[in-house]
Structure 1
Amino acid sequence: MIPWHRTLVTQWTAVVPVLAVVLLAFTWGRDVPGAVVALVTLVLAGAVLAAVHHAEVIAHRVGEPFGSLVLAIAVTIIEVALIVTLMADGGDKSATLARDTVFAAVMITCNGIVGLCLLVGAIRHRVAVFNPEGTGAALATVATLATLCLVLPTFTTTKQGPEFTTSQLAFAAVGSLVLYGLFVTTQTVRHREYFLPITRKGEVIEGEHDEGPTSRAAFVSLGMLGLALIGVVGLAKGVSPTIESGVESAGMPHAVVGVIIALLVLLPETIAAVRATRRDRVQTSLNLALGSAMASIGLTIPAVAVASVWLSGPLVLGLGPTHMVLLALTVIVGSLTVVPGRATPLQGGVHLVLFAAYLELAVTP
């Protein structure tokens, strides 16, 4: 991590977010040649790394679990904006975009990020330790939200197809917001200790003891984080036509576009989670992963429900049989992983195999 006392304007982590937003302004809504796409991709990667840095500065200042919450909500809010924008531009072919992107986010976070962090933590520290009370509560909330918003539409009968009626969609949106708000209150106020990193003896680690950033540096990083995330999501949308044409030319399903978008948007959280694991803060990594999955559903579905008032075309939210099986297996395996509060490389490997199975079935359903 870059020392706090360095002047921010001399750091590349301050220059790249501004460059990303400027590049976004020049490329937004335009067809760009291959050379510009390559430049956009390079700046996009730099913006991801800058976002991770500024998120760590903020997390170090406000402490856990607030730091994880800041990054999860910031990424998800801009992810929602990206989904709604693409749905407005895409017509009928984007009817399943919200479902595909949200489910991709759930599988990436609950299997990809969780599995990678548990594997890295267990290999590096022999056993990865975390708080089962907080992690279990987060997993239960994610499972409820995913079932309510992504599974039930497949089985409702009032409207044909895997879609909600207007009243059902409104209920799912309100229920998602209520559950997410209740979880955030539990995480940050009533039972904050359940979401703090713990030692191998089960003692709660309240915070780091080294000198942290000043309030001014934290506020500047908050602004830079916003710019970096706007750049990440905006530039990801800019390269989305290239992604879509590549997916079509490869003969892959259109749902793969949602997977790639989710991978790009969640890259900052993935890097931040792995860094926390390397410092033996596995609970922080799980807060990031499960918090992102929860925010992705709890904020996206209400936003899409509101946007559907003026968006034309159907809104397909229900999962198919294959994805429902993967979701059920993810919840079962995740529950068995969480209960002991300790994980070996085996648990990490199981989650990563589930994630690999999801990617394989996304490409070849």
Structure 2
Amino acid sequence: MHKAMTSMRPLAGWLTVVLFLLWGSSWVGHIGSPLSALLLFTWLFLVIVWVAFGVVHEAEELAHMLGEPLGTLVLTLSIVIIEVVLISAVMLDSSGSSTLARDTMYAVLMIVLNGVVGLGLLLGGFRHYEQAYNLKGASAYLSVIIPLTLTALVLPDFTTSTPDGSLAPPQALAFSLLTLALYGVFLWLQTGRHRGYFVTADAQPVDAKSVAQQPAGAISRKKLLRHFALLLVNILPIVILSKSMAKILDYGMAATGAPKALGGIIIAILVFAPEGISALIAARADRLTRAINLCLGSAASTLGLTVPAVLAISLYTGQPVLLGVPPSSIVMLMATLILSAMTFSSARTTMLEGAVHLSLFVVFIVLIFSP
């Protein structure tokens, strides 16, 4: 029964992808009524959420086989790379997407650092009272997230080379190289000499050399590749269908008068649903280090890969990219970064930290409808 359910998830996802590739343009392009839009939205939402559980399953299998931090890194990079490809495709296909990357990165940071972290700490604290994690790993993540966030989303509002929140070509080139270099050094340390920062205190990290030297019975390379392929097979439908979901949401936003930012937030939630679900499961199971690796890792990867990609597209096409967020968003980013630094300054967490992060997430949602 479990194997049948596992195979049904990607089958349902790819069948929906095929149907939307064949007839989706007419369905989405000629939505006749709010009822038809609601039906299409419900269909896509249920399929995407169901397939997301398949992603979580495969990620858990890989994490068990590879150990930390490689297990969570595979899931994080897979989703973020596909997210970057999606943003890049929309930018290259549309001339009205100058704020797409900014809005996506901001939404991801708010959803992950406040929504998922807050709910995870709340659920974990309710069940286990206090939870321990590897403090060095969280500090390492934040040491990368803080400068990348301020450089990408705040600093462009205060430079004088451009009149808006964009970057001049020399700035874009320099910031892209800086972001790639910093994130590359972080990945090298995370998977190399400082792997121990990203595992629990009583666990030992697993690196590629130790995996290769294990007996054939301990870990199967064929099984490893199979689970990695299944991970991608489950992830791809989520991202492909999210483009159709975005068009349906645009119609819904226009028909109901809801703020357009809401559509981007829903898409960000759907794209990062596998990581969010996996992080919440890990926090509830008292594996807080894994949950932190997923949450903070996705935030660092989103900034480290999205910024260079969109700035490179901007330099290549000449299409302007606005990265600087509005003043209210700057306040929210600063509050989130300060709170995150305080939350992960002690080796143990409680429900209180989760409640405070969730309160900031509620403020973020309120500001969408009432800026």
Say yes or no: TM over 0.5. Answer: yes
RMSD, aligned CA: 2.1
- Residue among 106, 110, 119 paired with 1:107: 110
Residue 136 of structure 1 deviates from its aligned partner by 1.1
Q: Judge conservation of contact 2:196–2:205 (CA < 8 Å) in 1.
A: no
Summarize the Cα distance change of 1:32–1:126 in structure 2 as closer, same or farther, 3 Å threshold.
same
Q: Judge conservation of contact 2:245–2:267 (CA < 8 Å) in 1.
A: no
The answer to whether residue 307 in structure 2 is matched with residue 337 in structure 1 is no
Which SS does the other structure have where 1:11 is aligned? helix
Alignment: residue pair count: 350
The answer to whether residue 21 in structure 2 is matched with residue 12 in structure 1 is no
Could you give the per-residue CA deviations for residues 216-247 of structure 1, whole angstroms, max 9, x where no partner exists?
33321111111211100111111111111112
2:267 alignment counterpart: 261
Q: Aligned partner of 1:26: which letter?
A: L
Residue 305 of structure 1 deviates from its aligned partner by 1.6
1:64 alignment counterpart: 68
- Residue among 230, 253, 259 paired with 1:224: 230
The answer to whether residue 201 in structure 2 is matched with residue 172 in structure 1 is no
2:137 alignment counterpart: 134
Residue 43 of structure 1 deviates from its aligned partner by 2.0
Q: Aligned partner of 2:26: which letter?
A: D
The answer to whether residue 244 in structure 2 is matched with residue 249 in structure 1 is no
Identity %: 36
1:125 alignment counterpart: 128
Residue 23 of structure 1 deviates from its aligned partner by 2.6
**Farther-moved stretch of structure 1 (76-85 vs 287-296):** 76-85
Mapped to 1, the partners of 2:355 and 2:218 lie a distance apart of 35
Mapped to 1, the partners of 2:46 and 2:290 lie a distance apart of 29
In structure 2, the gaps of 5 or more residues are 29-35, 207-216
**Farther-moved stretch of structure 1 (96-105 vs 178-187):** 178-187
Q: Judge conservation of contact 2:154–2:330 (CA < 8 Å) in 1.
A: yes
In structure 1, the gaps of 5 or more residues are 3-9, 199-203
1:158 alignment counterpart: 161
Which SS does the other structure have where 1:157 is aligned? coil
1:301 alignment counterpart: 307
Q: Judge conservation of contact 1:173–1:305 (CA < 8 Å) in 2.
A: yes
The ranges of structure 1 where at least 4 consecutive aligned residues each deviate by more than 6 angstroms after the TM superposition are none
1:143 alignment counterpart: 146
**Farther-moved stretch of structure 1 (233-242 vs 80-89):** 80-89
Residue 144 of structure 1 deviates from its aligned partner by 0.8
Summarize the Cα distance change of 1:31–1:143 in structure 2 as closer, same or farther, 3 Å threshold.
farther
- Residue among 330, 346, 350 paired with 2:352: 346
1:328 alignment counterpart: 334
- Residue among 180, 200, 204 paired with 1:206: 204
Q: Judge conservation of contact 1:169–1:305 (CA < 8 Å) in 2.
A: yes
Residue 84 of structure 1 deviates from its aligned partner by 1.6
1:75 alignment counterpart: 79
**Farther-moved stretch of structure 1 (221-230 vs 41-50):** 41-50
The answer to whether residue 101 in structure 2 is matched with residue 98 in structure 1 is yes
Q: Judge conservation of contact 1:330–1:354 (CA < 8 Å) in 2.
A: yes
Summarize the Cα distance change of 1:310–1:170 in structure 2 as closer, same or farther, 3 Å threshold.
closer
Mapped to 2, the partners of 1:31 and 1:45 lie a distance apart of 24
Mapped to 2, the partners of 1:53 and 1:262 lie a distance apart of 20
1:280 alignment counterpart: 286
2:210 alignment counterpart: none
Summarize the Cα distance change of 1:252–1:213 in structure 2 as closer, same or farther, 3 Å threshold.
farther
Mapped to 1, the partners of 2:218 and 2:234 lie a distance apart of 22
Residue 132 of structure 1 deviates from its aligned partner by 1.5
1:44 alignment counterpart: 48
1:181 alignment counterpart: 184
Summarize the Cα distance change of 1:90–1:212 in structure 2 as closer, same or farther, 3 Å threshold.
farther
Summarize the Cα distance change of 1:37–1:329 in structure 2 as closer, same or farther, 3 Å threshold.
closer
